[in-house]
Structure formats: structure tokens, C-alpha cells
Amino acid sequence: MDQLLINQGFPLLSALIFLPLAGAFVMLPFKSEETCRYISLFVTTLVALLSFVLVAGFDTSTAAFQFGETHTWIEPLNINYTVGVDGISILLVAMTALILPFCILASWSYIKVRVKPFFICLLVMETAMLGVFVALDFVLFYILWEAMLIPMYLIIGIWGGPRKIYASIKFFLYTLAGSILLLVAIIWLYWKNSYSFYIPDMMWQPYGITPQVLVFIAFFIAFAVKVPMFPFHTWLPAAHVEAPTAGSVILASILLKMGTYGFVRFALPIVPDATLLLMPYVLWLSIAGIIYGGFTALAQQDMKKLIAYSSVGHMGFVTLGIFVLNKQGIEGAILQMINHGVTTGALFLCVGMIYERTHSRELSAATGVGKYMPVFVTFLAFFSLSSFGFPGTNSFVGEFLVLAGTFEFDLTLGLAAIPGAVLAAAYMLRMLQKVIWGGPNNPDQSWITDLNSREIVTLAPFLLFVLWIGLSPGPFMEMMDMSVTELLNQFNAYKAHSVAAVDILVTQ
Amino acid sequence: MLFLPELILLLGTLSLFLVSLGSPAIETLRKLTITVSVLVLIATLVCLKQNGSLFFDSYRVDFFSQLFKFLIIAATLAVLIFSERSPGIKSDVKAEYYVFLFTGVLGLMMLTSSVELLAILVALELSSFAVYIMVPMRSSNSAGALQMESGIKYLLFGVMSTSFMLFGMSYIFGLCGSTYLHDIAIRIEPLYYQPAAIVAMIMIMAGFFYKLAIFPFHFWVPDVYEGAANETTAFIAAVPKIAAVAVMIRIVSLISAEGQTVVNLLLVCAICSMFYGNLSALVQKDFKRMLGFSGISHAGFVLFGLLTLSSQGYATSIYYIVGYAAMNLACFLVVCTVASSGENLAIEDFTGLHQRSPFLAIILAIGLFALAGIPPFVGFTGKFMLLVNAFKQGHVLAVVLAAINTAIAIYYYLSVVRVAYCSDPEGTAPKVVPGAMTTAVSVLLLIVIVAMGILPGAFLHITSTAVGTIL
């Protein structure tokens, strides 16, 4: 347990995890919709503030898991409630906590029916999402990972668009079917590690190459569906398009990150040999995702679909960065997870705001609003620029690092990824051009009103982070630096004494 | 004292019989039945720690059997409460219906204590014949003549599997020269190289495969579930299965390490049950039929725990069947309440349940998500522990297949949640308001489903202790 620094004081992580759940229970007896809105806003804001305390107290000089808590949970099976954060998860936790209040704000007037259940679903989601990022017991992780499906299913299925039934069931089935084998892999690891589910103990163990490959495949299917990597991405456009704004934001900003987080947290340290062996295939799948996402986004008429496909491309960059297995790559990938969360989340909020006015997500219905919504298009322009990695914005830093890592790893691979960056500029500028100026036959948009102050408050913090990470990524990089360095050191040490075995296998 | 719960139940049944000679009002019957079951429930709790033997050692009273008796009567009480005025039962035979119901429960309770082959047979038949008669007692205006067909099917399949069991018992007696399980356990151990011993074991289990609805003795399930009244189906779906697990544990523990052939066969049956149940459930339109098929696949999971031949595996099986009973009862509670005149419900009939009764919609959704094995409910925890135990025994391929089944199953459960939550009723459907006691039962079931899912430790401890007393 030396990788876990037990927190003696206030159980901060547990507070983060269970506050939203408690909030959901508090909300139950209230009938008034307005009260429910304020309760959920209050709870999520409190969690966001607590996450600042977490970040402030985070020690960047160690790679160990901090703020650790461990309690016996299910004794006969040796399952514990163990949580902790390290440099890889701290930013994701903070991002999750910070985004949720804005999801509440974005749903303030968007959700008109069954308001209370909606906010209960959101709060339960927050509990599960925060839990997934800090869980250090594999069963705890899996339970939260799966439990999340229920509220998300309901969010899409009840409050979604016209094809909500199809989208919600597809989302549920894909994700569940993907993670079924993960459960078997977890049980195998439990059995191998003298009946313990403690994740750090499972890392860097000499498991033998065949089981490693099988476990890797189980991990890969579960996480690749969630990321989603090409060709497992088909649930994503459907779910994004039909989900209400808050649902889209949560999906894009947080849920997708769980897949990539899973790769960094589990696939690399637990089955390093298999990672090394199968890495080329994953890398080329990432490239396929980048190119495919870019081209498909270019052809979309539906704004939400466009952003959804752009997510496939962006997440391709993240997996690319992870699996080149060098420092720039992984750090870039983690930063890019945050960037994608901020930027794409904000873009979905923007589309949601348009939708509330025109009740259409079609690009053609939103053309030429620039004249009447100057504030809105300013925001939209910044987020679009950020989305294709314009210098000075957050994604530039992330993509640059990932590409630097890729070129360091392999020239061909780097060159193959470049068209993705170009495509991103093409589809984003196309959307931006249409929304702001449109063409000679714009619909009459003069009745449209610009953003109100609630909406400006919702978008402004996203813009702050876009520019902050873009102009001064130092503090963010520093948070993850120790953990990534340690991860790679361990990886290389492991590789050194097992690379010979892999070589034999590959050459045969 | 040892026989107290059964005695009270017997007296209750007799008094019900006397009442049935007149023409009692349904309210009187309801009060009487609930009083009797509450009394029995209290008696089982009082007698939980009893220990001893009765009837020439063929009837063991130990913590294991007493725990099961408690579970059986608790589940029965839940069914009695939420069936309210039993609208699905023919009104002129309602009193008789309850007489048979209690006789069936008595048989099941005796089954859990029987440790001798003939005692097992008598108890099993007592419960089976009572339930055979309950099936056709459905009122014909809610189902046409469907209940007659189901009654006959239930009877014929039941008799057939009993004859298998009897045949197996005759083999066992021939091989071991005793009908006492503890004698058999010693004498059969060196005999597992003989095909006769293996065949005998398998045939004995056939009788309980039938009760648990395990492939290939499951054929009665869909038709009986559909044809029987909603409250009868709720009873059949939960209570006999609990008792069957108790006897299965006693029988399976006769298999020694040499009986690997039997274990392999059980493994095949378990996997086939899962696939058969889940794949058939995918295409069902009738909700009870769907639950029937899902029950077949869940029985496969229960068998999964039994065939590990370890006390942990048995304890998990008990845990799972209790959880299954709770989830299933939660679903049937919704069925019985929504079908106010005892009619069958198609899946479409739940359309917009969230408007007709938000409370029942939540119960239904949680019951179904739990059955589907989504954490944090009991269905997930149970499956997870069963898989862990099977994995420890080295049945890796079976674990993978079982896991795949979870993914298949989710679709049909989800499609019910979908109509209940995501679609709105056309026109104005009537509101559904459950009674106060039904509400209490549903809250209790909900607590069981969630608490057993999140904190299984305490319950596992109890079941392990219970299993410890018989091994």
C-alpha cells in the first residue's frame, strides 16, 4: 500500500463523491421545480469549490496516490472502498467537478418536463463519474462504471430528441456489451493477485504474454467503445445528437475521457507487454479515427453531429498520444483530454443555445445569426478556433505535444496524422462561416435574441480555460508531470527485462 | 418447538379449510391469510436457532432449514399482500385457493428440512400437487381457457420429472442400500466411477431442475407463467425456487471430487439455461412470459454457484436466489397492481407508467435493472460473486459465456424500462394507486435489492453460517 498516501484529515474525496448523491436524496421531497434547480446548482457548486481545495492541496512532487482513503467494504471477497488521486486523474476530477454546475445552468430552461428526475439523474451521474476517476479498487471502479449507464440512459431516453429511443438503447447496449469482458478480466486479475482487487498492486506484474494479450483485448474493447475509437464509434453520433444539451456536454467532456483514462490507468501498467505488442494496431486505428472523423464531420448538416464526429477525430489524437508511449505523447494526451472536455463541452453548450432559440440543430436554420447574436458568435469563434488547435488556444498545446511525441516515435505515423489537423480546420471554419455570415439566402433571423446573462456566465469560464491553458499550460503540465514520468520509468524498467521475450515472440 | 412453524401453518391451513366450507368474504380471507403468514413468520424467527431431528432422523431442523423456512414464508407473505383482493382468481374458489397455497408452502417448508429420500419425495409432491391445482383456478374472464392448458402442462411436466427423480432414487437405494442422505454421502463416494451412480445423481436432480426451471426441464415455464393468474405466477416464480435451492444444496453436496462428470453436465445445463432463457426472452411480447424466460437464465446462474461444490459457492447461490426472489417479486408487484382486474400484461401495456404511477415505475425500473445485473443492485453483486467462485474452480470458459449472457439479457429488460419511462401513453390512461400495505412491501423489497447489492457482507455471513451447519 506504499503507493497510497492515506489522508488522515477530512475525507475530501469521499465528500466529493457522495455530496451529489446526498443532494439527490435531499431533493426527493421537494415538489417545486425551482427549488430542485437551486438545490442541484448549490450542490454542484459546492463540489466544484471542494475540487479547488483538492487541487490546492495536491502535492506535485510525488507520483503516489494522494488523499487516499481505504475502508473494508465486502469482506468475504476482499473488496475495499479505496480511493486516491494522482497526477493522471487529478485534472479529470477537477474538470468533472467544474463542468457540472454549468450543465445545471445549461438545463435551467432547456428541460421543461420532469425537471426533478432530470436533476436527480445529473447528480447521480456526478457521483459515479467522480468515483470512476478516483477508484483504486477494481470492483468499485467497475460498479461505478456500469452504474453510470442507468442515469445516462434515462437522460438520453427521456429528455432526448426525436430518435431518443434508438439512441439511448444503442448507447446502453454498446457500452454494456463492451465492458462485459472487462469484468472477466478483473476476476482473472483478482485471482492472479492472491485475491486482491487493489489496482496499484496489479501493475507491473509478470503475467505471461498470452494472458496479457487476452486481458488487453478485454480492456481494449471496454475502453475503445467508451472513447470511442474507430470502428466502435457508431453509438456516439446517435447519442450526442439526441441527448439534451447537458447530456451531450457530459458525454463529450467526461464520459469519453473514461475510455482514455482507462487506457492510461489500466492497460499500460497492468499489461505492458501486450501494450507493446499491440500498440501499432491501436496507433493505426487512432489514425483511422482521426481521418475518418474529420471527413465525416466535413459532410454534416447537423451541428451536433458535426461536433460528435469531430470528437471521434479529437479522441483519436488522444489515443495516438497515449500509445506512442513517450513523455510528450502521454502528457499531450492527458492535456488533450482536458482540452477536448473544455472545448467540445463549450461547443455543445453553444449549439444548445441556438437550439433553444430556433428549435433546430440544422446548420441551414442557424445561418447568419452573427448579425443578431454578436456575443454568441464571439464565443463560438473562440471555441471553434480552439477546436482545431489554433495557436494561443488550449488544443494547440495538446495537439502539438501529441504530434511531437508521434514524430519522435515514427515519422510515417506523424505524417499520417497531419491531415487530421487540416480537416479539423476545414470543418470548423465551414461551420463558423455559415453560422456567422451564411450566404445570400439566409432565413430571417432578426427575431433572434442574443445570449442572456445566465448563458454568458455559463460560457465565460470555458473561455477562460481555453485561453489559460492555451497561453500558460505550465501549471497544468506540472500537475501530471511526476505521475507520467513515473509511469514511463516503470514501463521502461519493465520493458528492459521482458523485451527479449517479446522479441522472440514477434520474430517467430 | 422444532416443528412449531410447520404446525402453525398446518393449523392455519385447516382453519382456512373450515372457512372455505362457508362462503367467506374476500376481506375476511385476506385478513385470515395475512394473519396466518405473519404468525408463521414470527414462529420461524423464534425457531431460527433450533437444532434437532424428527421422524426417525428423516427431518433435520438446523439453521440452514430454518433460514430457508423464514425466506419461504417471507416471500409468500409478500405475494399475499401485494395480490390485494386476488382479482385473477375465480371468485367462488378463492378460499380453496388459499388452502392450496398454504398446503404448497407447507410442503416447501418441509422440503427444506428433509434429509431422507422418501421424505423429500413426499414433501415435494405435497407442494407440487397443491400448486398444480392453483394454476387452473384463474378466473376465466381474465384469460379465456388459457389456464386449463397451463394447468395440464404444469401437471404433466411435473409428473414426468418426478418419475425421473423416483427412478434415480431407486438406483441410489440399489447402490447404497439406504435412503438417508448422510449414509448415501459416505457410500456413494467410492462409486462415482460407475455410470449408474452418475445417472442416478442426474436423475434425482431432474426433479429440482423442474422446480428451478433449468434446461432441459424448463418447457413448462412460459405457458404456465402466461396461463396462471398473476398472483399465482408470482408465487411460482419465487417461492418454490427458494426451496428447490435448499434441497439442491443437500443433493449436490453428495457429489465428491470423483463426480466431475456430473459437474460438467451441470455446467452444460447452466450455460444452456442462460442462452436458451435469454435468447427466447428477446422476442417475447407478454411481460410474464418474458419474466419466465429470464427466470430460466437466472436459474442457470444459481446452478453456477451450486456446481462449484464449495461452501462459498452454496452460500452465494442462496444469496442469489434470495436476491432473485426480491427482484422478481418487485416486478410482479407492479404487474399485479397495474393489472387491476387480473388480466395478462403485454410489454406495451406499461407504456407511460411513469405518468400513471411514478412510484411503481421506479420499482419496476429498479427491479428490471437489478435483474439485468446492473450495479449497484443485488443482481450484479450476486452474478459477480457467482462468477468469481466459478472462476476459482477453473471454469473460465463458462465464466466468459455467462458474462456474454449478461449483455444479451440487458436488451429485453431495457425495452420494458423504455416503454415505462421514455414513451407517453396515448390519450389518458388511468392512474394506478397501490394500496398502503403494497407500498410498504415494495419499499421493503427496494431496500432489500439495494442493501443486498451494496452491502452483501452481512447477508453472506448468514448464508455461510447456514451452509456450514449442513456440511
Give the tens place of pLDDT for each residue, B208-231. Answer: 888 888 888 888 888 888 888 888
CA distances from A288 to A222, A231, A284, A314, B371 (A): 19, 9, 6, 12, 38
Q: Of the candidates B374, B375, B418, which has its C-beta nearest A157's C-beta?
A: B418
Q: Does the beta carbon of B403 lie under 8 angstroms from any beta carbon of chain A?
A: yes
Cβ-Cβ contacts under 8 Å, B410 against chain A: 172-173, 176
Q: Does the beta carbon of B399 lie under 8 angstroms from any beta carbon of chain A?
A: yes
Least Cα separation, residue B403 to chain A (angstroms):
6
Q: Does the beta carbon of B268 lie under 8 angstroms from any beta carbon of chain A?
A: no
Best interface-test mutation with B: which of A187, A194, A195, A214 has the largest number of B CBs within 10 A? Answer: A187
Q: Which residues contact A23 (CB under 8 A, 6 or more apart)?
A: A39, A40, A42, A43, A44, A123
SS3 A198: strand
Q: Measured at the alpha carbon of residue A185, what is the angle toward residues A184 and A191, in degrees to the nearest 5? A: 90
Cβ-Cβ contacts under 8 Å, B369 against chain A: 150
Q: Of the candidates B385, B415, B464, which has its C-beta nearest A77's C-beta?
A: B385
Identity of residue A286: S
Could A158 and B414 be called an inter-chain contact, meaning their C-beta atoms sit closer than 8 Å?
no
Q: Does the beta carbon of B374 lie under 8 angstroms from any beta carbon of chain A?
A: yes
Q: Rounded distance, CA A175 to CA A253, Å?
A: 17
Least Cα separation, residue A147 to chain B (angstroms):
5
Q: Does the beta carbon of B397 lie under 8 angstroms from any beta carbon of chain A?
A: no
Q: Which residues contact B197 (CB under 8 A, 6 or more apart)?
A: B171, B172, B175, B188, B191, B259
CB contact at 8 A, A97 and A41: no
Strands A65-74 and A4-6: parallel
C-alpha cell at A476: 497544468
Q: Rounded distance, CA B112 to CA B106, Å?
A: 10
Q: Rounded distance, CA B381 to CA B451, Å?
A: 11
Q: Of the candidates A76, A169, A191, which has its C-beta nearest B392's C-beta?
A: A191
Could A76 and B423 be called an inter-chain contact, meaning their C-beta atoms sit closer than 8 Å?
no
Could A165 and B423 be called an inter-chain contact, meaning their C-beta atoms sit closer than 8 Å?
yes
| Nearest of A20, A267, A27, A5 to residue A131 by alpha carbon | A20
The domain in which residue B55 lies consists of: 4-470
Looking at residues B36-55, what average pLDDT do you find?
86
Could B407 and A188 be called an inter-chain contact, meaning their C-beta atoms sit closer than 8 Å?
no
CB contact at 8 A, B133 and B150: no
**Reported pTM:** 0.90
C-alpha cell at A229: 475509437
Q: Give the number of domains in chain B.
A: 1
* Predicted confidence pLDDT, tens digits, chain A (508 residues): 567 788 777 888 899 999 999 999 988 888 888 888 899 999 999 999 999 999 988 888 888 888 888 888 888 888 889 999 988 899 999 999 999 998 888 888 888 888 888 999 999 999 999 999 999 999 999 999 988 888 999 999 888 888 888 888 889 888 888 888 898 899 999 988 888 888 888 888 888 888 889 999 999 999 999 888 888 888 988 898 888 888 899 988 899 999 999 999 998 889 888 888 898 999 999 999 999 999 999 988 888 899 999 999 899 999 999 999 888 899 999 999 999 999 999 999 998 888 888 888 888 888 888 888 889 889 999 999 998 888 889 999 999 999 999 999 889 988 998 888 889 999 999 988 888 888 777 787 778 888 888 888 889 999 999 999 989 888 888 888 888 888 888 888 888 877 666 566 656 5
Interfacial residues of A (vs B; Cβ cutoff 8 Å)? 73-77, 114, 139, 142-144, 146-147, 149-150, 153-154, 157-158, 164-165, 168-169, 172-173, 176-177, 180-181, 183-184, 187-188, 190-191
ipTM score here?
A: 0.87
Query: Quick one: closest CA in A to B424, which residue?
Result: A158
